[in-house]
Amino acid sequence: MNQSKFDKLPDLEKMTVSAFILAAGKGTRLYPFTSDIPKPMLPLLNKPIIHHSIERLLKAGIQNIGVVIGKDDTKIPQYIQMTFPNLYPVFIVQKEALGTAHAVLQIERHLKTDDFLAIAGDSLFSASYLRNIVATHVAEKNAITLSLEKMEFNLMKHSSTVNYHDGRVLEVREKPQTPEEVLSDLNSAALYGFSYSIFKVLKKIEKTNRGEYELATAINEVIHQNYRVGGVITERVCHITTSHDLWHFNLQFLREVDVTTVDGNFMGKDVDIDESAVIQDSILGDNSVIKKKVIVKNSVIFPDTIVNQNCENSLVKTDYLERFTV
């Protein structure tokens, strides 16, 4: 039997590595679901997205965890400190929303390891993949290691395309608008392995036309300087950009994650369901209330939400309901 390339990589537990969750984004594309909570606090199977991210990092053996948060954000620190009392993460405030590269730059003075991961607060990767990308980054002595996923062109137009050959990334191109601009069917997902040297480059890049400091600019500059940028292909990324994504991944988790269900439904704490109501293939958040004769089917109900109308294929928050076409 052939050995996997990861069989020969160093044991993560013998390496010192940090991980930083980039959680300062406003989540404007998810409004009004993000009107009163940061995007990483949106519920995924009744727990915030960032909860799942921390659990997977810990399962991967990464104990040194930090979170980049937005100005005046108190909800993420409060939740993490209450839910993970033995974690002691560092919270780094990004005072201005100046792009992902700017968010990563804020990490420098808090970093205590040579290598680190940066992961978007709206993306989830398996613990095994997190281990693989860190191990690959260290073993290959990369300046940067990208998480790569296959993507169709219609989605790539809103993301990126990557020239990847023989284990090395040769170029990253943001938001290709024509097939001729596409470098490959691979996209750079929102997970990065960095060495400390990235900060020198981040301090020199200029803002893009969107008025932000973007990581693609820094990555291409590192490539231009002939430093090694590697990549690890992943088969699956949970990336929540839109309300449809949030609805879709919630129901996917309901089907696939090993959790206790009641007749195929996930029930949060202190849920109040009228005996005449019908619930089918749905997720009910903590303290949600389902009123008389209401039918809830294939839907996600936010915590602390009162439902007094039928909802199917829906994402439901107090005073707001969004339906999706299946």
Strand order in the sheet with 229-234: 90-94, 64-70, 18-23, 115-120, 186-195, 144-150, 229-234, 168-174, 160-165
Using DSSP's 3-state secondary structure scheme, residue 49 falls into: helix
Helix (H) or strand (E) holding 243: helix 243-256
pLDDT of 311 over the 80 cut: yes
Task: List the Cα angle 107/130/4 in 5-degree steps.
Answer: 140
Instruction: Determine the Cα–Cα distance for residues 58 and 54; give it in Å rounded to an integer.
Output: 6
Copy the structure tokens of residue 35.
Answer: 């009107």
Query: Which domains does the chain show, CATH number per domain?
Result: 5-239 (3.90.550.10), 263-323 (2.160.10.10)
Q: Is the pTM of this model over 0.85?
A: yes
pLDDT at 11 > cutoff 60:
no
Residue 7: pLDDT over 50? no
Q: How confident is the model at residue 15 (pLDDT cuts 50, 70, 90)?
A: low
| 6-15, 53-62, 171-180: least confident range | 6-15
Q: What angle do CA 132, 58, 251 make, to 5 degrees?
A: 85
pLDDT at 285 over 50: yes
